[in-house]
């Protein structure tokens, strides 16, 4: 896992995501999920490109089911961008890098 992406769980979700001063892209995933493995390098690249402007985190839905259910995660991968402690944008399934970039730029007001 990349240095810019934090693996978070139920203990640190509030501090890392909801209380973050920057927007945070949270990638909800699981080890057994093929599309999750496909999107991982895309998220990794974006975490490098956007590291000054936003944070990146991964939540394993098998290890943090309460978080997944509280945001109604039914399919993975699901990426939610949180801004000011609230879900701002959501993407379900694999998407090419440029699609995710558009969302991040929209969240950042670019």
Which residues does the annotation mark as catalytic? 33, 36
Residue 48 burial (CB count, 10 A): 12
Contact criterion met (CB below 8 Å) for 57 and 24: yes
Q: How far is CA 33 from CA 23, 29, 39, 74, in A?
A: 25, 7, 10, 13
H runs (alpha helix) in 1-109: 13, 34-49, 65-70, 97-107
Contact criterion met (CB below 8 Å) for 27 and 56: yes
């Amino acid at each position: 896992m990349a240095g810019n992406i934090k693996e978070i769980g139920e203990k640190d979700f509030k501090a890392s995501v909801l209380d973050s001063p920057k927007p945070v892209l949270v990638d909800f995933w699981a080890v057994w999920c093929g599309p999750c493995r496909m999107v991982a390098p895309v998220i990794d690249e974006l975490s490098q490109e956007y590291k000054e402007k936003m944070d990146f985190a991964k939540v394993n839905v098998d290890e943090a089911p309460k978080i997944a259910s509280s945001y109604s995660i039914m399919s993975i991968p699901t990426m939610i961008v949180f801004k000011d402690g609230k879900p701002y944008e959501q993407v379900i399934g694999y998407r090419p890098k440029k699609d995710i970039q558009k969302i991040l730029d929209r969240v950042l007001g670019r």
